[in-house]
Structure 1
Amino acid sequence: MCSKTTTGQSIRNCFSQIRQVIDDAEALVIGAGAGLSLAAGFTLNGDRFTNYFADFITKFGLTDMYSGGFYSFPNRQTYWSWWSRVIWLNRYQPAPRDTYRRLYSLIHGQNYFVLTTNVDHQFQQAGFDKRRLFYTQGDYGLFQQATTKQTFDNRPLIEKMIRAQGFKIGDNGELQKPAQLSMDIDPALIEQADQYQLNLRVDGSFVEDSGWHNAAGRFNHFVEHYGNSKIVFLELGVGHNTPGIIKYPFWQWTFNNPQARLVTVNAMDASFPAELDQQAIGLRMDINQFIDSLTAN
């Protein structure tokens, strides 16, 4: 693998090497964290936040969609007004950038599996085979009932809540803001929604349904089957919030297999243990730039 300090012509040679390593691999495991969705434009603050949540900013002083998710809202109407917008913007509205689709074009035809902590479901929307995806932390598109251990498609109910607040929805799912933002939602919709919780891993009540367990089984079988072969672990935008899910296992699987290679791409931190220097490359760069560079080789 190329050096971590390559520049200029060397960096172009580096991408050629990475492209060749991926093409020659018997298996490719993509580990995707929040940085990949940020690269696709799913920012949780800035214009994307202020455009759709100006009323929440004014009333509660909220600064972004992430921290707002922990706010103790005064009533269930406000709670579901908030979450219906967050869910629609980050699950059903098209991604601002085509990062996921370009990634799919890059690895299309490879023997791959995706492990992700993201809950926005963008892999499947971009064309990835749903039987080769393992969403470990839940899905914005699902409600759950902890008592019955079941999950439910939430789009019909979320759409009704969105429309009740005055939003319109375009043909491609894009949210169109009303002239005056409103938190009003029909109490009957709130009563229906309160039968469920969000299917997000925030505490011990998270429901790992049959679909979750089947995906986990397929992923584990894939890694076990190809664990001693020419396998590439491609880590995209994975931080240190939950390193035990993607980062640490990728390091360990690479270390245990001399034929394995690790490529980690992160705009902030692309480090890895010194023991992997001969098998790994860390690129501190924008993921879109990384995909473009590989596509050009």
Structure 2
Amino acid sequence: MIEKYSKVLTKIQEADGIVIGASNGLSISEGIHIFADNSSFREHFGDFREKYSFHSIIQGCFYHYPSQEEKWAFFSRMYDYFLYKTEASPVMKNLYELVKDKNYFVVTSNIDDHFRQAGFPKERLFEVEGNCRNLQCVNGCHNQIYPGDDILSKMAQKQENGEVPPALIPKCSQCDSPMQVHLEVDRHFLKGESWQASYQAYQGFIENVHGKRLVLLELGVGARNQLIKAPFMNLTNREENATYITLNKGRELYIPDVISAKSIGIDGDIAEVLQQLVYMK
């Protein structure tokens, strides 16, 4: 295993560009599992579970709440759950330490905004499905995305009996409709100027490393997440000097034969693998 770690580290150190792709498995390594009805979910969202009979954070994101007061109680609670610790997790600190001196870009379907919390700059980050701390018009009536930290914090602190005070519910400045968290939970998800700028930055990065030594570092991306996995595999196959490195657990670790000669897979806990790589750096 140490030999495989050394190979991964060498590829990262020699890379002209690194694209990090991250999904739910990375969050799980931090202790957050948005698909699980586990003890953490029951501790922090047990009242929602009992009242609405959903059994995970992701189900709560898609639930049709009877009122705006109840809806914002959930989303502000989720915001608080993801970001109440102002310091990044050891997992994210190690990931940043591993690539901070390299030419890198991040594409992620995670909604917890832990990359920016760990020091990854916004300019090198494409959050495909949004994140929990930004707001948009519920109808997507205009293109602007707004920071929601202040109001989400207030709602998290002031909610009672599963509702937030009506006066705290944010309204759109253009059409006076309610706002919503900028997450891809319905057809109104805003792929406006900010989202498009991040997407173009991602595409531009890939174009700039064409033909160079490219590492695609995939962290906890499940087989069903084709937003990240399929483009990574296609890019590995297309780019002569690309190396596909995937960290995952068990059957989620998959490398197709067509790119196996250009790939390295490590089956294990992402937190432990990153810690070991940083130790060996």
Q: Pick one of 169, 172, 179 that aligns with 1:196.
A: 179
SS at match of 1:207: coil
Residues 88 and 114 of structure 2 are in contact (CA less than 8 Å); yes or no, is this contact kept in structure 1?
no
Q: Does 1:258 align with 2:240?
A: yes
Instruction: Give the superposition deviation at 1:94.
Output: 4.3
Deviations 1:26-50 (A, max 9, x none): 1111011111111112233423222
Matches within 5 A, 1:85-96: 85-94=77-86
Q: Which residue of 2 aligns with 1:41?
A: 31
- Equivalent pair of 2:88/2:117 in contact (CA under 8 Å): no
For residues 192-225 of structure 1, the C-alpha deviation after alignment (integer angstroms, 9 at most, x for no partner) is 4862122111233111222222221211111011
Number of equivalent positions: 271
In 2, Cα distance between equivalents of 1:204 and 1:68: 17
- Shift of the 28–96 alpha-carbon distance from structure 1 to 2, 3 Å rule, reads closer
Distance change in 2, residues 1:214/1:96 (3 Å): closer
Alignment map for 1:129-144 (pairs within 5 Å): 129-144=121-136
Asked whether 1:64 is paired with 2:43, we answer no
Corresponding residue number in structure 2 for 1:185: 164
What residue in structure 1 maps to residue 22 of structure 2?
A: 32
Cα deviation for residue 141 of structure 1 reads: 0.8
Q: Which residue type is aligned with residue 210 of structure 1?
A: E
- Name the CA distance, whole Å, in 2 between partners of 1:263 and 1:70: 32
2:71 aligned partner: 79
User: How many percent identity over aligned positions?
Assistant: 30
8 A Cα contact 2:24 2:33, kept in partner: no
Kindly state the Cα deviation for residue 95 of structure 1 after the two structures are TM-superposed: 6.9
Partner of 1:147: 141
How far apart, CA to CA, are the structure 1 residues paired with 2:201 and 2:55? Answer: 39
State how far apart, in whole Å, the 2-side matches of 1:239 and 1:86 are: 23
Report SS of the residue matched to 2:261. Answer: coil
Contact 2:170 2:179 in 1 (8 A): no
Larger C-alpha radius of gyration, 1 or 2?
Answer: 1
Shift of residue 144, structure 1, vs aligned partner:
0.6
The 2-side partners of 1:207 and 1:92 are apart by 26
Does structure 1 residue 227 correspond to structure 2 residue 217?
A: no
Please state how far the C-alpha of 1:184 moved relative to its aligned partner: 3.7
Q: Secondary structure at the match of 1:215?
A: helix
Which residue in the other structure is 1:3 paired with? Answer: none
Match of 2:223 among 240, 247, 259: 240
Distance in 2 (CA, whole Å) between partners of 1:60 and 1:202 is 18
Instruction: Report if aligned partners of 1:42, 1:95 keep a CA contact under 8 Å in 2.
Output: no
Q: TM-score, normalised by structure 2?
A: 0.89
State the match for 1:288 in structure 2: 271
| Structure 2 residue 7 is the aligned partner of structure 1 residue 17 | yes
**Are 2:133 and 2:152, in contact at CA under 8 Å, matched by a contact in 1?**
no
Letter in 1 for 2:169: I
> Displacement of 1:92 after TM fit?
4.6
- The normalised TM-score by structure 1 is 0.85
Aligned residue in 1 for 2:190: 207
CA shift digits 1:62-101 (9 cap, x unpaired): 3221222233333222222112101221245447842111
Gaps of 5+ in 2: none
Comparing 81-90 with 94-103, greater Cα deviation is found at: 94-103
Contact 2:72-2:163 at 8 Å conserved across structures: no
